[in-house]
Structure 1
C-alpha cells in the first residue's frame, strides 16, 4: 500500500483526503483568493472556480494568481491583501497545496475557509524531526528517501500533520 490515495481509501491512516473532482466554489465568502500552483490543470481548475463565482449574483471581489511552486512569503503577502471574510481556493500538486493550507491556517484562516484540490500526487511534503526540515520528496508513503537537511535516510510514515502540512519521516537506522 505505497500509494497515498490507497492508504486514504483504506481509512486506516492519518492522511489528507483528496476529492476525485474539483469541489464547487464556496459562495459564503465576502472575497476570494484563488491560487494555482504548477501545471495547466491547476490553472484550469482555478478558472473553473472563478467562472462559478462570476455566474452568481454576488459579484464578489476575486484575486487570482498562478505560481510555479509554493512560496510562503508570496502567500502571506496575498493573504495580507485579502478582505475580511476571504475564502482561499488552492489547486495544484499535493506538496504545494498542503504547504499552502498549513501556511494559511498559521496565518489565521480556518480550515472551513479553504477549498483545495490536488492535481498531482508525485511529490509530498516531508518533515524530518531530526533536523526540523520540511522538504519536497518525490516518493510515496512507506518509501525511503534522503532528507535534504541532514541527509539521513528516512522512511515516510503514514502520518500527516495538518499544522505542519507535511508527512513524518523517521530515520531508518
Structure 2
C-alpha cells in the first residue's frame, strides 16, 4: 500500500508541475501569471475534485479513462498520418521557430474535422455506463465497446481527403 500511495503522490506532484506549463502555453495572456500562482490554483482545484469525488473514484476513473482513450486514438491517428503521410517522417519538415506565432501556423480545419469524425465513430461504438452507442448495442446483449476501433477508422478515412 505504501508503494501505491507514494506513486499517486508522485503522479500528482508531476501534474501540479506540468499543468501550469500547459496553461501558460495555451495563450500569451496566460503567460504573464506566474507559474507559482498557477500551481497553487491547480492544487486547490485538484484538492476540491479529490474531496468531492472520493466516494465515487472508480466510476469517475472508468468513465473518464474510456473517454480519454477515444480522444487519444483520434489524436494519435492525426499526428501519425501528418508526420509520416504528409511530412515524410522527417522532423526537418517542421518550422520549429514559429510554434508560438499564430499567423505562421496552419489553420487546421482538416485535423479538427477529422477529430470530430473520429469522435462520431467513437460515439457510435462506445459501451459506457452512461451511454451505449448504436453499433455497440447491435453486438450483443451487453453491448461491446468498439469505440476505439471506429474512432481509428473514422479519423484515418476522413483525415487523408480533408488534408
TM-score range, shorter chain: under 0.3
- Which protein is bigger by CA-based radius of gyration? 2
RCO higher in structure (CA 8 A, sep ≥6): 1
Q: TM-score, normalised by structure 1?
A: 0.21
